[in-house]
Amino acid sequence: MAEILQNIKPTRMELLKLKKRVKLADRGHELLREKRDALISELMLVIKQYRDARKRVEENLKTAFYNLLMVEVLLGPRDLEQITGITLRDVGLEFVTKNIMGVSVPILKIGDVVRRINERGYGFLSTTAKLDDAAKGFEESLLLIVKLAEVEESLRRIALEVEKTRRRVNALEYIVIPRLNATIKYIEMRMEEIEREGFLRLKKIKASLEARRTR
């Protein structure tokens, strides 16, 4: 049997208060269960997005690194290092948030990092088409990595909220509501006992008064 609440007087007023608390707890439990189930559904969708995003990043980087290796073979490491220094640039990243089922998740916005061939700063005559492919591959990979980071952080936050909501549901279901119901049952039993004791006292008083009259 569940524990009862402490420092509760077995009165009708307390009984009414507890019954109201049980109704509120039941309603809260129902709402939290609905929220938990909705969050889990959302979590499953984000998990799929994460897997897809991660796969795309891995595939793009694999191709980009292969092309980079071919460039190093064709041009040599020294020329590749010089070209790398020429093509460096700053990339801006904007961070905002949106709300999903009460959870604040990030939205990462990055500018158009994929450049045209003539915007990268190196010459065409002394390079190879593989360099263009490698550069484009890494630029596209950067966009995909930013998206992956966004999805991964959303996944982490939603998973934490699922766990938090699950704990609250369990606390209500297995601790709070059983204790309230056990306390209500205890008060009802005590009130019945008090009523019986009062009835017996009245019966004894009545018997005592009748005995005096017959003397």
DSSP letter assigned to residue 5: P
Determine the pLDDT at residue 9: 85
For residue 100, what are the β-bridge partners?
Answer: 103
Average pLDDT of the chain to the nearest whole number: 88
In the prediction, which pLDDT does 92 show?
Answer: 84
Cα–Cα separations (whole angstroms), residue 196 to 16, 191, 193, 199, 209: 21, 9, 5, 5, 20
Q: pTM for this one? A: 0.80
CA of 161: how far to CAs of 87, 101, 158, 166, 195, in Å?
42, 9, 5, 8, 48
Q: pLDDT band for 93, please (50, 70, 90 cuts).
A: confident
| pLDDT mean over 142-169 | 96
**CB under 8 Å to 10, separation ≥6 — which residues?**
186, 187, 190, 191, 194
Q: Flag whether pLDDT at 7 surpasses 90.
A: no
Least confident of 18-27, 46-55, 76-85: 76-85
103 strand-pairing partners: 100
Q: For position 192, what pLDDT does the model report?
A: 86
**Alpha helix (H) residue ranges in the chain:** 12-75, 77-87, 129-171, 177-213
**β partners of residue 95:** 108
Q: Which of 79, 182, 60 is nearest to 133 (CA)?
A: 60
| 52-68 tens-digit pLDDT | 999 999 999 999 999 99
Please give the share of the chain, as a percent, with pLDDT higher than 70.
94
CATH of domain 12-213: 1.10.287.3240
pLDDT score for 22: 95
pLDDT of 37 reads 96
Contact 67, 137 (CB under 8 A): yes
Average pLDDT over residues 22-30: 96
**All structural domains of the chain with their residue ranges:** 12-213
Which pLDDT does position 71 carry in this prediction?
A: 87
Nearest CA-CA partner of 145 in 104, 100, 97, 110: 110
User: For 159-188, what is the mean pLDDT?
Assistant: 94
Q: What is the pLDDT of residue 125?
A: 62
